[in-house]
Amino acid sequence: MSFDIIVAGGTLPDGRVADIGIRGETIAAIEPRIDAEAGTVIDAAGDLVSPPFVDPHFHMDATLSYGLPRINASGTLLEGIALWGELKPLLTHEAVKERALAYCDWAVSMGLLAIRTHVDVCDDRLLAVEALLEVKRQVSPYIDLQLVAFPQDGFYRSPTARANTIRALDKGVGIVGGIPHFERTMADGTRSVTELCEIAAERGLMVDMHCDETDDPHSRHVEQLAFETQRLGLQGRVAGSHLTSMHSMDNYYVSKLLPLIAEADLSVIPNPLINMMLQGRHDTYPKRRGLTRVPEMLKLGIRVGWGQDCVLDPWYSLGTADMLDVAFMGLHAAQMSSPADMARCFDMVTNVNAAIMGLDHLGLAVGKRASLVVLDAGNAIEAVRLRPDRLAVIARGKVVARRDKRDAALSLPGRPAIVNRRHRLPEAVAPVQVLP
């Protein structure tokens, strides 16, 4: 028996040490030791071997546009919205496509092999839609790219948004989006949730809605989203992104809301980097952290993943395409401090995000797609702590990115010549298992 690739001696996120044999685009074997020939052998001894990173919430039509036509001087949400309105008429098909492809290069180098991106449909040209459909086709050999039809200026608030949403779906955009809290009235927001979910149900599509991305405790559209999910039989196909208003809601209402979300099998996607930057702006002290109630949701079995949202665009001037940056910030903001919680945060940006996106073919198991990452870390928690180099990235059975280990050389009297920041746990410490 032979393999195209063997990833040898790596540590899996569950603590097992194993060889992974890849044949074609498929994981063909995961065993303590594989004695077989292979076209390529990747020595992963002492390193973490992980499923690929997955980002369930992004805006690729705006990515890498920072500074065009000007910089968001305040760094606020409202200035970002205004700036996007200034930039949108200046967009060209080729510029959107080129920036998106450049971001996809970043993503591959970081082991990020699945992305769900929202695309604004409130430009009658649908220029960004056309560009990202081309990007989707071009990157399909190595990135699972999902597109969400996103009426950013409001499904009803923008005069042509409803018609443009339908046009985008007809062109091949595969997920229905919305932004109910940005409609002119609470009633219009509620009505938009209903109609958008009905459109998705009629077409057999998934839903991913910007929902309650505000500090307003009365922004409660996720309640309607959960209701429509159940009414229309969309369980497991709907995600509510952000839900930051929940950090302002009273505990009694939330005690009723969370079981409703769980009952509807609604997925939740907070975006810690940008939510912490943009929300809680109207507080003096005490200051809200800008994030929804992640630990409370997890306790009820609600599927929660971390999203990145933005990289170098009108809203967020930072970002690296590293989902471990997202997990690191998320566990701090949500105070997920136990070893099991920290390991869970790693799972959230890999397996959980893949589940939210319906990507059943991803994961470290025989028969799954051969897409995986080798990291310069000993375990999942260390990976979150260090945000380490990706030593090898494999997509569909092909090595698409490599990087040498980069220890630091020291010149200090009486100290080692080489140093890295990895830390070996005492032998008595058992590997941390991710909670189910």
Give dist(CA 422, CA 377) in Å, integer. 7
Same domain for 145 and 186? yes
Same domain for 341 and 376? no
Question: Is 304 part of any domain?
Answer: yes
Chosen domain end from 324, 356, 388: 356
**H helix or E strand, kind and range, residue 42:** strand 37-43
Give dist(CA 55, CA 38) in Å, integer. 31
Same domain for 17 and 135? no
Closest CA to 42 of 411, 286, 393: 393
Contact 119, 164 (CB under 8 A): no
Give dist(CA 278, CA 219) in Å, integer. 16
Question: Is 106 part of any domain?
Answer: yes
Q: How many CA atoms lie within 13 A of 204 on its CB side?
A: 1
> How high is the pLDDT of residue 431?
57
> How high is the pLDDT of residue 427?
67
Distances (CA, A) of 387 to 156, 239, 253, 301, 433: 42, 27, 37, 27, 19
As a residue count, the chain comes to 436
Same domain for 63 and 11? no
Contact 366, 28 (CB under 8 A): yes
> How high is the pLDDT of residue 426?
77
Q: What CATH number did the domain enclosing 413 receive?
A: 2.30.40.10
Same domain for 19 and 78? no
Same domain for 58 and 14? no
| Lowest mean per-residue pLDDT among 90-104, 214-228, 281-295, 401-415 | 281-295
What value does the CA radius of gyration of the chain take, rounded to a whole number of Å?
Answer: 22
Q: How many CA atoms lie within 13 A of 189 on its CB side?
A: 22
Give dist(CA 331, CA 341) in Å, integer. 8
> How high is the pLDDT of residue 430?
57
Contact 112, 387 (CB under 8 A): no
Same domain for 57 and 39? no
Question: Is 431 part of any domain?
Answer: no
Q: What is the mean pLDDT of residues 391-419?
A: 96
Same domain for 112 and 34? no
Say if residue 329's pLDDT is above 80.
yes
Question: Is 315 part of any domain?
Answer: yes
Buried b (16+ CB within 10 A) or exposed e, 117-132: bbbbbbbeebbbbbbb
Q: At what angle do helices 161-171 and 186-203 cross, to 10 degrees?
A: 20
Distances (CA, A) of 224 to 59, 60, 178: 24, 28, 13
Distances (CA, A) of 132 to 149, 181, 258, 314: 11, 26, 35, 18
Pairing of strands 112-120, 53-58: parallel
> How high is the pLDDT of residue 298?
98
Confidence of residue 241 (pLDDT cuts 50, 70, 90): very high
Say if residue 428's pLDDT is above 70.
no
Q: How many domains does the chain have?
A: 2
Same domain for 149 and 16? no
Q: What CATH number did the domain enclosing 228 receive?
A: 3.20.20.140
Q: How many CA atoms lie within 13 A of 301 on its CB side?
A: 7
Closest CA to 216 of 258, 184, 257, 186: 186
Say if residue 147's pLDDT is above 70.
yes
DSSP state letter for 176: E
Question: Is 338 part of any domain?
Answer: yes
Same domain for 321 and 391? no
Question: Is 306 part of any domain?
Answer: yes
Same domain for 198 and 74? yes
Chosen domain end from 312, 328, 356: 356
Say if residue 359's pLDDT is above 60.
yes
Question: Is 375 part of any domain?
Answer: yes
Percent of the chain with pLDDT over 90: 94
Same domain for 144 and 176? yes
Task: Tell me what the pLDDT averaged over the chain comes to.
Answer: 96
| 74: Cβ contacts below 8 Å, ≥ 6 apart | none
Contact 162, 191 (CB under 8 A): no
**Residue recorded with tokens 């992974």:** 20
Q: Which residues are catalytic?
A: 213
> How high is the pLDDT of residue 429?
61
Q: Is 41 helix (H, G, I), strand (E, B) or coil?
A: strand
Say if residue 433's pLDDT is above 70.
no
Chosen domain end from 302, 334, 356: 356
Question: Is 42 part of any domain?
Answer: yes
Adjacent-strand bridge partners of 419: 408
CA 233 to chain CA mean position, Å: 25
Say if residue 163's pLDDT is above 70.
yes
Q: What is the DSSP string of 236-302?
A: TSEEEEE-GGGGGS-HHHHHHHHHHHHHTT-EEE--HHHHHHHSSTT--SS---S---HHHHHHTT-
The domain in which residue 62 lies consists of 53-356
